[in-house]
Amino acid sequence: MSEIKVGQFGKIGENMVAFELSKRGWIVFLPPYDERVDIAAMKFICSSCGSAWNITHNLHCSNKDCINHNEIAKSKIAKSKKCTNCNTVFERDEITSQTSLCPKCNTNTLEEIALCNICNNEISVKQNNCTNSSCNSKDYKIIFRSIQVKSTHYVDNGKNLGFNFKYQDLLHDNRHFFIVYLRDTKDCKESHHYWVMSKDDFISIKNINTVSFKIYQNDRGHYNPDKLLKFKYNEEKSYQINKKLEQTSNLASFSEYKQLLKKYDPFLKLDEEL
């Protein structure tokens, strides 16, 4: 098998980070050219609790007592037409589907409607809502983030991580983040690792005043993984906490697990209020 080239490895890192963001509800955009950011992302979140907002196009029966009130499949919808003049409802067939003329009152006031196959009430679009089952908010907001991805590998006989920082990588904006990606293979098993840093996190580990960084833009750093541990994504721990989040309906427990998750999933930094 041929070696992965440097340019290819960088693109792999960007796409792997994009995949992780997509899993968390981010809508990801990858610039077609080499820009100052590798990824631009946007996300719909709840205005009240900050959880991901459900933007799926769901349909439901308008009758609260119907079994289809929570959700109805399109295949279960009765395609119909209703006259706005005489209020007569007709089943849509080959004849009525092509005309607006009401066969009862003979006016051009026939409109298409969708009815429930169980109770014949009208079908409507279900209002998008918060994915947190304990939250009743009906309001959302959209947040935007820019991300610089640094693909890395082990150096110094496996003791450190090595990657390059450029002056242009640093945007003085709290919405800008750095994500370091490592693809590792051990005992013929592949693993993927991520370190997520805010602008201030980046400045805390990197001297941004060196000539190499500001002028020549070739400032390569070697970083001990232990010193970067607080920025690392712990997939196993995050998975365990997310399972508890899915199972709880208690608002206090939800908040407790959500806070604990921040310790192991630094991707959540991108969701925080700025």
Q: Cα angle at 143 between 142 and 144, to 5 degrees?
A: 130
pTM, rounded to two decimals: 0.77
Q: Is the pLDDT of residue 182 over 70?
A: yes
- Amino acid (1-letter code) at residue 117: N
The predicted structure's pLDDT at residue 159 = 92
Between 9 and 229, residue with greater pLDDT:
229
Give the per-residue pLDDT at 55: 85
Instruction: Specify the higher pLDDT residue, 170 or 217.
Output: 170
b vs e for 78-88, b when ≥16 Cβ sit within 10 Å of the residue's Cβ?
eebbbbeeeee
For residue 86, report the phi and psi dihedrals to the nearest 5 degrees.
-110, 0
- Rounded Cα gap, residues 67 and 61, in angstroms: 8
Mean pLDDT, residues 10-17: 90
Among 85-89, 186-190, 248-252, name the most confident range.
Answer: 85-89
What pLDDT sits at residue 146?
95
Determine the longest span between alpha carbons in the chain, in angstroms: 86
**How far apart, in whole angstroms, are the C-alpha atoms of residue 172 and residue 180?**
18
The string of DSSP letters for 4-32 reads: PPHHHHHHHHHHHHHHHHHHTT-EEE--S
Q: Dihedral (C-alpha) 201, 6, 147, 204: value to the nearest 10 degrees?
A: 10
pLDDT of residue 1: 46
pLDDT at position 221 is 83
Q: Which residue, chain included where needed, has tokens 């309906």? A: 249
- The DSSP call for residue 45 is E
Using CA atoms, how far apart are residues 111 and 224, in angstroms rounded to an integer? 68
Q: Which of 69-73, 134-138, 153-157, 217-221 has the lowest mean pLDDT?
A: 217-221
Residue 190 reports pLDDT greater than 70: yes
Average pLDDT over residues 76-99: 85
Tokens for 66, please give them: 């119907």
The whole-chain average pLDDT of the chain stands at 87
161, β-bridge pairs:
154, 223
pLDDT confidence of residue 180:
95
**DSSP 3-state of 245:** helix
Domain ranges of the chain: 6-55+136-271, 59-125
Question: What percent of the chain clears pLDDT 90, i.e. is strictly above it?
Answer: 42
